[in-house]
Amino acid sequence: MKPLLLVTAVLEAGIGIGLLAMPSAVAQVLLGAPLELLAAVAVARVAGAALLALGVSCWLSSFDPQSCAARGVVSAMVIYNLGAAIILGVAGVQSGRTGIGLWPAVILHVTMTVWCFINLLVQPQQNLGQGRL
């Protein structure tokens, strides 16, 4: 599970920083159009902060990948990656205009969903439901 957590930490923190610093440029790469409204820029920056936080939680979880906390983070990543793949995929199908990074991002999120799910199935479920003293 450690490689998954480390790869996820780097990817999500990187995109999070990108959304915080240049939300319109990230939207241009993904969706083929810049963010024009102040509200859209603000929401994209909130998403960037959330992705940065997700990256930090994955990084910190990688120090104890067998913990219940790490399994919780990976479980949350299944939901996030599946949701991102669906949302971006629907945007790509509905829009006649997409950015160069949209379909690679969809494929990446589908791949990460499967990788997270496999790690949850394969990893032993030690200490689940038991507190540590």
Q: How many CB atoms lie within 10 A of CB 112?
A: 22
Tell me the whole-structure pTM to 2 decimals.
0.84
- Residue 124's alpha-carbon distances to 49, 68, 93, in angstroms, are 32, 10, 39
Q: Average pLDDT over the chain, rounded to whole?
A: 91
Cα three-residue angle 88-5-72, rounded to 5 degrees = 85
Give tens-digit pLDDT for 46-80.
Answer: 999 999 999 999 999 999 999 999 999 999 999 99
pLDDT for position 133: 46
Q: Are 20 and 51 in contact (CB under 8 A)?
A: no
pLDDT band at 123; cut points 50, 70, 90: low
User: What distance in Å separates the CA atoms of residue 122 and residue 14, rounded to the nearest whole number?
Assistant: 28
Q: Which residue has the tokens 């990976």?
A: 74
Through-space distance between the first and last CA atoms of the chain, rounded to whole angstroms: 24
pLDDT for position 129: 53
Q: Is 35 a residue whose pLDDT tops 70?
A: yes
Tokens of 36: 């024009």
Over range 97-112, report the average pLDDT: 93
Cα three-residue angle 101-4-107, rounded to 5 degrees = 25
Q: What percent of the chain has pLDDT over 90?
A: 81
Tokens of 132: 């540590």
pLDDT for position 97: 75
Over range 5-16, report the average pLDDT: 95
User: What distance in Å separates the CA atoms of residue 37 and residue 27, rounded to the nearest whole number?
Assistant: 12
